[in-house]
């Protein structure tokens, strides 16, 4: 069974201006403008992937749907064409999936779902360990759910990254939020990683089970009934979501917002939840509804995929920051690690 392999685990930005070797690059909504050095003409073009605004229906509480940013850095984006042809898209990118570390309600054995609770001390340690495992893998964009346990995991993981870029949550929920969170330093922009939060990546909503103790619920309704609610594909708990319903929103968001970033050559990390990530893995690995219900994801264990020529190739979980094997999967990752070593030593 395909799922068996998994049992061993695995901003809205206002107009952006970024400098690189070829001049200043501005983006506003779906317009991309690059200013070529003095004496050259200005080239203005529409970018198909310029923005990823997802409409009002995506705004809920603290989440913000994504507007694409351009944080250009030759070291952090090694998957770009080595000849420097900016118009040619890379055909290879890294995708990192990580389930949040242990939460306070995980520790208490409570159904959590979309209730927003933070990590435990163990969860913090798991997030840091996840960061060590991916510390040499390039990250250009981060997506998290709207829930604090996923956001904490992403932020703590990035404290371990060797490139030392700063993850910054993008806010486009209001014009004031856009204005007040604006960054005016081009150098700071180059040393930042946009973090996009989206409710579509939230954990499955467990309805009337949220806040209940799992063992007490099994005693009350019977183990078989609770197992059906937790592990069936299309049967939701009372007034909650089934895995099928969770997959519908999570996969749609992945296809509409995250996959285009990978297609453009950006390396993406997603910090989310057991069920939203199971849904995405079902899509990536083309699992059946029967295979996905057997899929278990451990907290704080990252999974690496390589996106190449329109296909996703699963590479498992990086073992440690010095593990050379993970970089042998692609030449581009190997070159990235070599550049990091040269720059940091």
Is 180 annotated as ligand-binding?
no
Task: Tell me whether residue 173 is annotated as binding.
Answer: no
Residue 257 labeled ligand binder: no
Known binder of ligand: residue 105? yes
Cβ proximity of 157 and 134 under 8 Å: yes
**Catalytic hit among 100, 161, 257, 273:** 100
123 annotated binding-site participant: no
In terms of Cα–Cα distance, which of 277, 302, 270, 340 is closest to 134? 302
Radius of gyration of the chain (CA): 20
Distance CA 265, CA 171 (A): 24
Q: Is 170 annotated as a binding residue?
A: no
255 is catalytic: no
Distance CA 55, CA 235 (A): 29
Assigned token pair, 156: 């703590």
211: Cα within 13 Å, side-chain hemisphere? 4
CB atoms within 10 A of CB 45: 11
Does 112 belong to an annotated binding site? yes
From 203, 241, 259, 291, the catalytic residue: 203
Q: Is 46 within any annotated ligand binding site?
A: no
What's the half-sphere exposure (Cβ side, CA atoms, 13 Å) at 128? 7
Q: Is 100 annotated as a binding residue?
A: yes
Active site residues: 100, 203
Binding residues, by number, are 99-106, 112-113, 149, 203-206, 214, 230-231, 274-275
Binding site residue list for substrate = 99-106, 112-113, 149, 203-206, 214, 230-231, 274-275
């Amino acid at each position: 069974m395909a799922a068996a392999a998994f049992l061993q685990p695995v901003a809205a930005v206002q107009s952006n201006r970024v400098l690189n070797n070829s001049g200043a690059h501005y983006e506003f909504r779906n317009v991309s403008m690059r200013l070529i050095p003095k004496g050259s003409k200005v080239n203005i073009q529409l970018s198909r992937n310029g923005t990823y605004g997802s409409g009002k229906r995506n705004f809920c509480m603290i989440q913000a749907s994504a507007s694409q940013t351009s944080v250009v850095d030759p070291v952090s984006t090694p998957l770009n064409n080595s000849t420097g042809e900016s118009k040619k898209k890379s055909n290879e990118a890294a995708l990192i999936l990580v389930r949040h570390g242990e939460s306070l309600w995980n520790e208490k054995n409570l159904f959590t779902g979309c209730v927003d609770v933070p990590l435990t001390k163990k969860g913090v340690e798991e997030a840091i360990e996840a960061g060590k495992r991916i510390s040499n893998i390039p990250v250009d964009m981060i997506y998290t759910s709207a829930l604090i346990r996923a956001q904490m995991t992403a932020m703590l993981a990035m404290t371990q990254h060797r490139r030392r870029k700063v993850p910054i949550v993008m806010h486009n929920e209001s014009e004031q939020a856009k204005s007040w969170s604006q960054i005016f330093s081009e150098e700071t922009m180059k040393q930042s990683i946009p973090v996009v939060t989206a409710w579509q990546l939230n954990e499955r909503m467990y309805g009337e089970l949220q806040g209940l103790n799992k063992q007490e619920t099994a005693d009350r309704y019977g183990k078989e009934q609770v197992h059906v609610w937790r592990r069936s594909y299309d049967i939701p708990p009372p007034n909650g979501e089934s895995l099928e319903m969770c997959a519908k929103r999570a996969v749609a968001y992945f296809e509409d917002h995250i996959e285009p970033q990978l297609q453009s050559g950006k390396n993406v990390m997603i910090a989310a939840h057991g069920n939203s990530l199971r849904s995405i893995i079902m899509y990536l690995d083309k699992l059946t509804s029967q295979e996905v219900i057997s899929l278990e994801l451990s907290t704080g264990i990252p999974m690496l995929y390589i996106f190449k020529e329109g296909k996703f190739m699963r590479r498992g979980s990086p073992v440690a920051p010095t593990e050379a094997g993970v970089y042998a999967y692609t030449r581009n990752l190997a070159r990235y690690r070599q550049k990091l070593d040269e720059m940091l030593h």
